Chain A
Amino acid sequence: MPRPKRPGEAQDVGAFPPAEAGITVVDWIDERTSLSPGIRWMLFRKVPKGINWAYTLGSATLFAFLAQAVTGVFLAMYYRPDAAGGAYESIRYITDDAFLGQFVRGMHKWGASVMIILIFLHMARVFFYGAYKYPRELTWIIGVVLLILTLVMGFTGYLLPFDQRAYWATIVGVNINGTGPFVGPFLSDFLRAGPEFGATTLSRFYAIHMLLVPGAIGALIGAHLYLVSKLGITAPPWLKAEPEPELLEHSEV
């Protein structure tokens, strides 16, 4: 237990003494928001002994998502969700004519696969380390929702180039979804905005792909990381707990 401070004694400020307030822009903001304790809580938390590179897979997934978000926003500056030919033409323009267009589109296209691979590797790490167990079940459940949403991103994004492959893959995908008993046919109508692939199917997919799902993923990543910080990270399963020597003295064994 820390002893209460006596008058005249120097305050124990830990490893990060507060700077003179109001000198830099950062201090100016911090004086008004008190954001820094939260950031310190997030970044300078304790991690167990023996953690390894596999623990970086979650952050790798996070950065893949951020890369998708940034490149996606800029692709949206040129992309047109027009089923009558404009979508295909705008993608052709990005790829062939726009300065660095092929590069940015390439980052988004390959990055999509990278994110899927990383999210599965991250999930495998959590699974094989048993890191989903109490008290981290909710972190896992949010992770499952993130996984589903990431796959939805893949499905909705695949239609956007609107070439033959995109079109037929989406027809097949929507029909797979339609085979769910009772609700399937209505879900398909919902996805297509009607009984056939129609004029607003593409804009519907585009809105889901660029607004709805990324927003949800962003919010859930926030919750996911809050729980990671709050609960602390698990030690690798092969590491034995080392009890305090004092505790051992008093135990029966």
Chain B
Amino acid sequence: MPGTFEGETVNRRRFMNLVTNGAGGVAAVAITLPVLGFAAGPIFSRVPFEWQTIGMPADFPKSTYQTRVVEIVQGIGEAGKTTAYVRARDPSIDTEPEDQYNQFVALSSRCMHLGCPVRFVAAAERFICPCHGGVYDFRGMVAGGPPVRPLDRFYTRLKDGYVQIGPRYSVNSELRRFSPRDPGEPLDGVGQYLYPARFSTSQIPQS
């Protein structure tokens, strides 16, 4: 835009417009970006998890599950707790590769349809969800209903003669380990790419 005299490229009115709008824009951005970052921060911060002692090896037979209440979020009482179903590894049925973290099989009670709490029914050797009829077999594999993958698991380990429970991880239908996903997110085929790992969790058990 030409100016009012020869060689002027920006006239006063246009200059003042630019400065005023620019200053307003800077002020708006200076307020909105920090608050948005503030609200979105938890997406990027990794939550620590502590190993919790849940008993002696003899407490956990191979043939049925023991329930243990684990605290997954500190400081909010009951709302931060979840139930784990724990038993000793049974090589005759647990065909997934063995390592130091699965000498005890600890299943999360969170249904992999949409997250209701499943219950182990000993007589049927099934996990049954009260919400929409999800059913899992003794190993936590989907046996019926809407769940999209087997029950999540917790890392377990033996430390000083005690059984300890660690972070949660997710598995696909071949029991391959993935970093913990939310319920409703399948991990077979393209599922693992459609539902990528989050920044807030990690697959490897820390410490």
Contact = CB atoms under 8 A, between A and B. Distances in A.
Interface of A: 83-85, 162, 167-168, 171-172, 174-176, 178-179, 181-182, 184-186, 188-190, 192-200, 204
A181 B184 CA distance: 11
B78 A175 contact: no
A89 to B, nearest CB: 11
B40 A190 contact: yes
A194 to B, nearest CB: 5
Interface of B: 39-40, 42-43, 45, 47, 72-73, 75-80, 114-117, 131, 180-185, 194-196, 198-201
A188 B182 contact: yes
Given A171-B115, A190-B39, A181 B195 contact: yes
A84 B116 contact: no
B200 A194 contact: yes
A64 to B, nearest CB: 29
Contacts of A204: 39
A195 B114 contact: no
A253 B131 CA distance: 67
Contact of A184 (B42, B114, B185, B201): B185
B187 to A, nearest CB: 12
B115 A196 contact: no
Nearest to B182: A178
Contacts of B77: 83-85
Given A84-B75, A185-B198, A195-B198, A178 B116 contact: no
